[in-house]
Structure 1
Amino acid sequence: MPKANREQWGSRTGFLLAAIGSAIGLGNIWRFPYVAYENGGGAFIVPYLVALLTAGIPLLILEYAIGHRFRASPPVAMRRLAKPAEALGWWQVAIPFVVGVYYAVIIAWAVRYAGFSLGQQWGADPDGFFFGEFLRVADGPGAPGGYNADVALPLIAVWIVVLVLLAMGVRRGIERANKVFIPLLVVLFGVLVVQALLLEGASTGLDALFTPDWSAITDGSVWVAAYGQIFFSLSIGFGIMVTYASYLRRRVDLSGSALVAGFANSSFELLAGIGVFAALGFMAVQSGVAVDEVATSGIGLAFVAFPQIISTLPVGANLFGLLFFGSLVIAGISSLLSIVQVVVSAVQDRTGMGRVPAVLSVGGATALVSIAVFPTDQGLFVLDAVDHFINAYGIALAGLVMVVVVAWALRRLPEMQRHVESISSVPLRIWWMVALGAITPLVLGWMMIDGLITELTVPYEDYPQWFLNAAGWGVAGGALLVGIVLAVLFRNREVTSVDEDLEEEERNGAKAAGAEEGGS
């Protein structure tokens, strides 16, 4: 069977917009503002920037280097590092499958809420409307007792859009979509922030967010929160950036691209913090309470607190709702594209399957699981548990294992550094080696130990242990098991060497250049 030519990004700008689109997701809007507020306010910026420079950007560069050097998705790239490491690559594919299954339903909620906001259909009780009338959540974890078409229909629409864009390819689908999505997201959210800043009480919210509590700098938990936020917000640790970098041209500025993507993501998080807390300040003033009584994060912020804010706006409520929920939809889809692309790319690389069949098979399977599980009355409980455990003991743990394997077990960091510096404008020097060889594994290791101690002491959200074993530990452990099983299944299926792939790229590039010259 002839080997298909590997796709490439049309331009470095296209790659950067896709990488930024992957990094800027729902967590930037509903997680960062509250994490900053709870961990020292303005003082949180110090550990946050330290974490960005000592863990976020170094890890981003490492993933770029692995994907670009070995020209493949995680399983093949890790196998080219060392044959046993293919299991780590497949683990990094199983995790995006799990994340994609539940991430899409949150986008579907935002789609519906963009419509609900036109007439504030949640009424006087946004909390009761969201959990009761809209999601129809059961009283507690158990067997599914009903299927919710109000959630299923927008979820199906989300998956159709995502699978169509993926089927169109890296350049014609993902790249073109992000060239529209990211500028549109910045414009929409920028208008929302301006509108929020004009509200009565906006300064109260901003004071609450940015007033520094310098004593927090000496609190170890604040630094752990900073590293956790950076790690989870940059789409590192579960194969996305390895996959995206594998489609880059041979000559590209990897370190410069990582700096642009990292600081663009952080800039959007700060913008989100301004917009969210300006709106929360308005809500606090209108309710006659302190900001800390209305400040929240996650699903509660997006689908309960913001509807309350929208309902009390004196003017422009419909526009504010459309801007906010429209921003969630765009940020979510750009991230979901990157999440599912990891799975599609891995299947293509290891089976030789074409893009459209791969998208229809593995992307379709992801969509079917999503549509089957999450529009039920148990969907919210499953989402909450799976999200918590797959982030803490999937993404973060896989990132830690990757760093330890590459830096300590295989000792390939010097090779990766030489590769990056040979084509990049920003030299890495010793800071990169120290960050990845010492700082990042120590911090991530501490996060794992600290999280496990808490987890084993207090059951997450006081859910029944059987439920946590199934939807929490079971899913996170299952992703690791799938990685090992797939590595065993593919152990005897050899891959072409990276040198053969590079030679083929050169031949294809020469043919394309000759065709252009002949046609000119």
Structure 2
Amino acid sequence: MVQQTREQWGTRAGFLMAAIGSAIGLGNIWRFPYVAYENGGGAFLVPYLVALLTAGIPLLILEYAIGHRYRSSAPLSYRRLLRPAEAIGWWQVVICFVIAVYYAVIIAWAIRYTLFSFGQQWGEDPNAFFFGEFLQTADAPGMVSGYVSGVTWPLIGVWVVVLGVLALGIRNGVEKANRIFIPLLLVLFLVMVVQALTLDGATQGLNALFTPDWGAMRQGSVWIAAYGQIFFSLSIGFGIMVTYASYLRRKSDLTGSALVAGFANSSFELLAGIGVFSALGFMAAAAGTSVDQVATSGLGLAFVAFPQIISSLPFGASFFGVLFFGSLVVAGISSLLSIVQVIVSAVHERTGLGRVPTVLTVGGATALASILLFPTHEGLFFLDVADHFINQYGIALAGLVLIIAVAWIARKLPLFQDHANAVSSLRLGLWWRLTLGIITPALLGYMMWDSLRTELDANYGEYPTPFLLTAGWGVAVGAIVIGVIVSLVPWKRADELAAQDRLADHNPATEGDQ
């Protein structure tokens, strides 16, 4: 058997909590609302639903099946699927590294906002407070000119917690953390949304969300944004679910788990959109203007709209603020844990280092990069550009390449369909192979081309070209190059890995638990 001592989740419920915890987090709250807003509001929901059904859930099932069958990290699982495909796995590991270094700083913001909730220290103008007094954002992107201490120290705290939980392992660390805090987040967030819906002007905000601009659907960038959001928030396209599924027991309902995780994620994203747009409607009504005049763009949406909701509470505002942002911190950490786990698992299996040394070495390097770059006056610019390019030309493109490798080159979709059907209550049919083999790669390929064409016509966010080449294109292309290089490096454990590969080729994943 392959990897006889591999750790396992304590229960299927524990795995589901971790999978949902990875999906439901900051991406639902600080990313989905502004992506929807910038891509046509209500019109965005149509390509988003299409992306969920034609790519999100089918790809989630595929990643579960790959990880569950080969019981390895993303690079080794892809290697056992198709030797050259190991490069895709390392590409996804680099993607996780990039996301982790900027994702952590948003959690640090939430930590500070937990404290700001006492007395609503963001004052009467949360927008000016967030970008000015709190982040102290520079006037233009450039080299690091200084650090913001109020962001640095909570960022260090985030990494101490993350590395500590990962060092405890899958069952004692990741699983236990998600069992406690994810349900708490859902309850608190629902309370906040209900409060937002009672605010004056909430209907105006909801109209901005649900009234579709059908013209936006003709733009390829809107569709690629929908697919990118699905990949980002569902934790697919960058190895997380392959890694998590590799710790499942042999008898696990893969299809049912994917459906639960997928629809739980989308339900929460819709809930987040309702809460944010209700708040925008309230802000617009108070200012006597339209929603588009008061909405802040980019990553500040959640940190401007939600403080406005909290400040409007008739009583217990500080209490609700502390609970909401405190739970947001933990939800973000649960997602960050899954991202860093991909890196740790890949290096741990490839080098043979113990778990704790791997966590300290790899996690420590990731934390150092995060602390050096993002709690700075220019950190928001780096975050915005890195997030855009790693999603548009990292996660989505890696998902496309993986589909092509599995469906067209290796022709293994029937194998993974049989594998999932053997352990799942809901059987996959021809629709699953058609979506992954034809519909998803065709749509992703066209949208990628259209988005690239638009990208070359004008600089993203009107950023200077040198900055985009370094922090944007350099990051996206660099992830591919590094992934290929690492896959070609001869490792000391090559003979051992080759022996495991031969066993994996003849190892039916439906046998009894190890």
Q: Same fold (TM over 0.5)?
A: yes
- Give the SS at the match of 2:235: coil
Q: Does 1:459 align with 2:462?
A: no
85 and 214 in structure 1: CA distance in 2 versus 1, 3 angstrom threshold: closer
Which range moved further: 51-60 or 35-44?
Answer: 35-44
- Give the CA deviation at 1:295: 3.5
99 and 45 in structure 1: CA distance in 2 versus 1, 3 angstrom threshold: closer
Q: Which amino acid aligns with 1:399?
A: G
1:5-44 matches, cutoff 5 A? 5-36=5-36, 44=44
Q: Which amino acid aligns with 1:497?
A: Q
- Give the CA deviation at 1:216: 6.2
- Give the CA deviation at 1:182: 1.0
Correspondence for 1:273: 273
Calculate the aligned-residue CA RMSD, in Å.
2.6
Q: Which amino acid aligns with 2:484?
A: I
1:249-398 matches, cutoff 5 A? 249-296=249-296, 298-398=298-398
Correspondence for 1:85: 85
- Give the CA deviation at 1:132: 2.6
149 and 4 in structure 1: CA distance in 2 versus 1, 3 angstrom threshold: farther
Question: How much identity, in percent, do the aligned residues show?
Answer: 68
- Give the CA deviation at 1:215: 6.8
Which range moved further: 49-58 or 485-494?
Answer: 485-494
Correspondence for 1:167: 167
- Give the CA deviation at 1:408: 0.8
Correspondence for 2:500: 497
197 and 489 in structure 1: CA distance in 2 versus 1, 3 angstrom threshold: same
Give, in whole Å, the separation in 1 of the partners of 2:108 and 2:166.
18
Give, in whole Å, the separation in 2 of the partners of 1:59 and 1:207.
32
- Give the SS at the match of 1:237: coil
214 and 93 in structure 1: CA distance in 2 versus 1, 3 angstrom threshold: closer
Give, in whole Å, the separation in 2 of the partners of 1:322 and 1:450.
43
In structure 2, runs of 5+ residues without a counterpart are none
447 and 322 in structure 1: CA distance in 2 versus 1, 3 angstrom threshold: farther
Correspondence for 2:449: 449
Give, in whole Å, the separation in 1 of the partners of 2:239 and 2:266.
20
- Give the CA deviation at 1:448: 1.4
TM-score by length of 1: 0.91
Residues 440-461 of structure 1 deviation map (CA, whole Å, 9 limit, x = unaligned): 1112112211221122111122
Is the Cα contact below 8 Å between 2:163 and 2:359 reproduced in 1? Answer: yes
Is the Cα contact below 8 Å between 1:141 and 1:378 reproduced in 2? Answer: yes
506 and 169 in structure 1: CA distance in 2 versus 1, 3 angstrom threshold: farther
- Give the CA deviation at 1:331: 2.4
Q: Which amino acid aligns with 1:253?
A: D
Correspondence for 1:476: 476
Which range moved further: 294-303 or 69-78?
Answer: 294-303
Is the Cα contact below 8 Å between 1:202 and 1:279 reproduced in 2? Answer: yes
Which range moved further: 387-396 or 491-500?
Answer: 491-500
Correspondence for 2:209: 209
- Give the CA deviation at 1:73: 0.5
Q: Which amino acid aligns with 1:293?
A: Q
Give, in whole Å, the separation in 2 of the partners of 1:395 and 1:231.
7
60 and 285 in structure 1: CA distance in 2 versus 1, 3 angstrom threshold: same
TM-score by length of 2: 0.92
Residues 448-506 of structure 1 deviation map (CA, whole Å, 9 limit, x = unaligned): 11221122111122222211111111111221121111111136714143574797999
Which range moved further: 53-62 or 318-327?
Answer: 318-327
Give, in whole Å, the separation in 2 of the partners of 1:304 and 1:70.
44
Residues 352-377 of structure 1 deviation map (CA, whole Å, 9 limit, x = unaligned): 11111111110111111111111222
Aligned residues: 509
Correspondence for 1:183: 183
Correspondence for 2:410: 410
Give, in whole Å, the separation in 1 of the partners of 2:158 and 2:375.
13
Correspondence for 2:54: 54
Give, in whole Å, the separation in 2 of the partners of 1:200 and 1:86.
54
- Give the SS at the match of 1:497: helix
351 and 38 in structure 1: CA distance in 2 versus 1, 3 angstrom threshold: closer
Give, in whole Å, the separation in 1 of the partners of 2:62 and 2:127.
43
Q: Does 1:148 align with 2:151?
A: no
302 and 48 in structure 1: CA distance in 2 versus 1, 3 angstrom threshold: closer
Is the Cα contact below 8 Å between 2:220 and 2:447 reproduced in 1? Answer: no
